[in-house]
Structure 1
Amino acid sequence: MELRQEQRQHIDTLVRLSEGQAIGLGGCREVIRRSWERCVGEYRLDPGRPRPVRVLTQQAINEHRESVDELLHVARAGVDQLFAQVAPLGYVLLLTDRRGITVEFRGQREQDRALRRAGLYLGADWDERYAGTCAVGTCIHDAHAITCHQREHFDATHIDLTCTAAPITDPQGQVIAVLDISALQSPRALESQNFGLPLVNLYARMIEDAYFLHRYRDCLILRFDTDREFVHLNGRGLIAIEEDGSVIAANGEGRALIDAHLRRWPPWSAGRMPSATQLFDSEIGDLLGLPAANDDQLRAFRVRANDMTCFMSLIEPRRRHIASRSMPSSPTPIPVLDRLASDDPAMYRVLKLARRLRNESVSVLITGETGTGKEVLARALHDSGSRAKGPFVAVNCAAIPESLIESELFGYLPGAFTGGRSKGMRGLIQQADGGTLFLDEIGDMPLSLQTRLLRVLAEREVMPLGAERAVRVDIRVITATHRDMTGLIANGRFREDLYYRLNGAQLRLPALRERADKHYVIRSVYDSLVADRGADIRLRADAMSALLAYAWPGNIRQLKNALSFALATVDGDEITVHDLPEECQGGFVGVPQILEQAPQAPATDEGRSLHALLQEASWNVSLVARRLGVSRPTVYRRMRRYGLVPPNQRETLSAQAVS
């Protein structure tokens, strides 16, 4: 590699340092100088021989990602938000594990080649022992946020980069990941990067706290802050406790408070860690009673260690929260509606209105994209209301042939038409007498039948084909559609007067991609499917993360199909991202596989056996699937698991890595 003059000067400075000279180091920051000294003294890195970018194989990347899959799951929102802020400034984002391996990456597609050459990519190794002084590696070593700007990098090939990194720690204070923003080019002055450190630190703390809340979701958690207005929004302190007040764990702010307490009252004076009632001037009943303390569920407490006042709320365990949802908040519990959503604002409004409508006779029109659960909501309305003991008759107006829909809905007498049953048939409207008639895809009902349905709604009676007298019916009508009803009316394809008869009240279901409680929906659907199968199969965090990231154009119906597919084809007792349908695997599968070298036969027996079969079949996946008695998606999942790439793809991937 031909070096520029600037790079040669940088190498000369580091060579002098390795020889014990301090010439040219006068303006070097102390944190950078210590790292340089580690590189030449402890790691024995040769500044005169810049190292090539080290990028792991896809199999190794998968293993590193799987080791932090829970963190990746909770970090996704923070990573996306931070990247949205820095991308317009020309920065990319890296999230590495504790070993400096990039396990999550966000960058601009037009910079793809330059980013790969610089090592700003998925799977890149930024351990200080290999890459030398850099933001990620030095942050891991020092456990402190740092900016490493241009010539502060040890390796001469990195001196054009500017990088800012902050550690993410576990509840015990150990570094488990690093959040980094980097740019290929930037102004020369270090001060140009002053914005980066507080920004990356902020998001690292947010991810850290989200991880804490996830880890201790089944515990009581005290959230506190010195400002009352910020407690619910972003309270800085988090302490997980037992019901007797014993401290289980704390985030960074909580650990600082505990350390302050122990400095004032050393642990040997008490013989154990302080309890929550020792940290705060309170009784355990005061803490457990926080949800009912005030309208805003907050209360002020004195901190014993420094006599400051803080405001505190209590986050109750997930298991307790779920139990409390089934407890009656009014004389009439309605769990069939409560189970349809968790904390999504749009669903909250829908279900709030549904509670009011469940015992009314007014017609309800449910709208929403296909697959959003319109029939499920209709059935819940029926089951939660006064007609629950009556029949619930569902009719898909788009599924019944137009030639049969009239007889299906209204019924017919014996001999009414050729080909009918000899004894006639009660129509679906009559079958719903005393209960609920649910007309799905009402926008597809033929115009000729809309007039007859309007008469049923107006007169509450139905005239079977061939009959001379109408039959009285007591029904509640709920309809649903994914069509634009106003557009159908404007085009003369739907009667306006019928529309207003059906639309006594409208409930709009949000698309799954719009819902804030996607995790709850996915878990509810999955638990239901597992219960039906009688299986004990775990949904791993990397699979959940992929499911949360997917857009779900087919909504809950598509989600159910995807999870059913995974349960039907999984090998083992847990579903990973590789077991999902390919379209749901998203960026995890679509990540370019940057290889250090062409993959050889894997180390495991199963991997070697699969590799041999593929070679024998000239990499014909369909043939291998037939020989193994499994599906093609299963073979592809196993190939990804063991890093097996067909020769024709291997050449392309190797060329990408070189470029």
Structure 2
Amino acid sequence: MTFQAAAGPHVPGVSPAVTGNPAEGDRPDLIAQAHQRSESYGLRPYESPDFCPVLQNELKTQIERSQSLFTYALPVMETLYDQIVNTQSMVILTDAAGLILHSLGDDDFLAKASKVALQPGALWSEESRGTNAIGTALAENKATLVHGAEHFLEANRFLTCSCMPILDAYGKTVGALDVTGDQRGFHKHTMALVRMSAQMIENQLFANAFQDMVCVRFHSRAEFIGTLVEGIASFTPGGRFLSANRSAQFQLGMSVAALHAHTFSSLFGQSLSQLFDAERKAPGGVVYLPLPSGVKVSARIEWKAPAASVPAVAIDRGSAQAQSRPEATCLPHRAATQPTQPGLDDLDTGDAQIQGVITKLRKVIGKDIPVMVLGETGTGKELLARAIHADSPRHAGPFIAVNCASIPETLIESELFGYEEGAFTGARKKGGIGKMLLANGGTLFLDEIGDMPLHLQARMLRALQERAVTPLGSSKVIHVDVSVICATNRNMREQVANGLFREDLYYRLNGLVVRLPALRERSDLDVVANKLLREGQASGGPRIKDSVMAMFRSYHWPGNIRQLGNLLRTARLMAEGEAEITEDHLPDDFLEDRLARQATHPAHGATVAPDAAPDGERAAGAAPRAQPTRLADVEALAIVAAVKAHHGNISAAAKALGISRNTVYRKLDEANALPQQDG
């Protein structure tokens, strides 16, 4: 992996269980105990891995049983994978037993992993695989790193694995998140990323479990409320404690079991009614609460009344007169108090292309015209869709996003249209509400629409035309009122021409087509970078050094805004307590990719390697580099030659030269600054 090797970031008031690295002192004992358990299961190190994953229908059933975990984990896995892409690694989600439900990874590494059955449907408990990060993390119920030869089975010793158990809203282990890679590419940052990603999933599971209860979000620093590291505690409207996430337990100094002996009043020294009174008077709705330890924290309170019912009309296909009969099926209604979402004005950061897109959209908002957003991965298509929704007459209704590429083909139909109890094996009691029903009265965002399975496109077309859906296993037709926005990075005309996408559905969805430019095509990169940096950051945080911003301008940004945002989040944590984000705070993969790009595409920045050919052999019109006259220049060019000899691998060049990587980066910049002779 290619993250800078450094200690995990420290955030005040946040449990090391969220952001820290594994305690190195605990690991030898943990690994030794895991090996003893492995032997007790009758395993032997030289045994071959089990290559018998469960059948597809059984895997589907297990995914359905873990539906909430699966739904909330997928987007987090995608974000995590964006940060480790091209590093010979993969992201893995398992259930509580260690059964792999889903994975994302580099194609070449996925092929290697499949040789040891590291793939969906395979069980990676300790009983079946011996000591490994997934099985051992679930056995110990703690974040676990298993590296190289620490694996019990010899076949798995080419791996390095970092795994974190995932807890539900009540503290029960429901699964695990893991990053596995080639053990030669190990980096300490990996565990911190896995921990934080698992915490994101847990916080979403928590918020979903207590939608109708009083949730108190708090932190010792107000700017951290609403971020990954906030504490969240849930209470009944009468003040009885229900549960708390990891950060809340850490700040309160008590486990969930101990907190069950408390009420809101005994924890915070006031009643909920007093808290609501204080919130109404508080600027920005932020109040201050004393913790049992005496520390005062900033807090926000959320209380959404139980979801109201909106009557729906059902159609019994056996009776033409049934259209007038009221149906007991209820659609969810969004609570009246919702946080203000950024609108189109917030996306206008000075780029002429973006301004043109916004101008077009303003002419069709609220006029029942479907919108199709084109653009490369990471250009902000969902952000634009949310802004359209926020500026539309439907802004008080729900915004429901569906990634058609991330949901398994076997589940996407039930995800979109819902299902009745008993519709399939493992279906939940009372059935499930589909995304289209959840979007009733609001906006349905279909991301990666070009990846929707062909057999499902006919159902989608009918649902959009009739404004009605029929849940799986039901004969009822439920009317819905949704505005549709879809997005794709594919060429939809080619998809239609190749028979991969229905032409009639394509023309139903592309009322207005707009294209978001790639980040490298935009003129407002400085504004975008600073805006991303300020998100979730207190005033007075680090600024971007001018030389770093110059690097950003010369980079090609294959991951676009998503890549820039992930990079800045990592850099901000690395630069905590410092005035500027410098080159030292940037991830290695970005720096190495930039230098490799310069070596092969000089137009994107100064070339890395000097032209070593004799002047007489130079291509016509090429400008020879001036011969260095200072010792420092000779040194810089020698370092450039070493980097070239190691094929752009900065770490290898630094090791060969006996100097630090930072020195290599600095000397490369000096070499690129050497003057050219007039040709």
Larger Rg: 1
Give the TM-score taking structure 2 as reference length.
0.47
Give the TM-score taking structure 1 as reference length.
0.49
> Which one has a larger percent helix, Structure 1 or Structure 2?
1
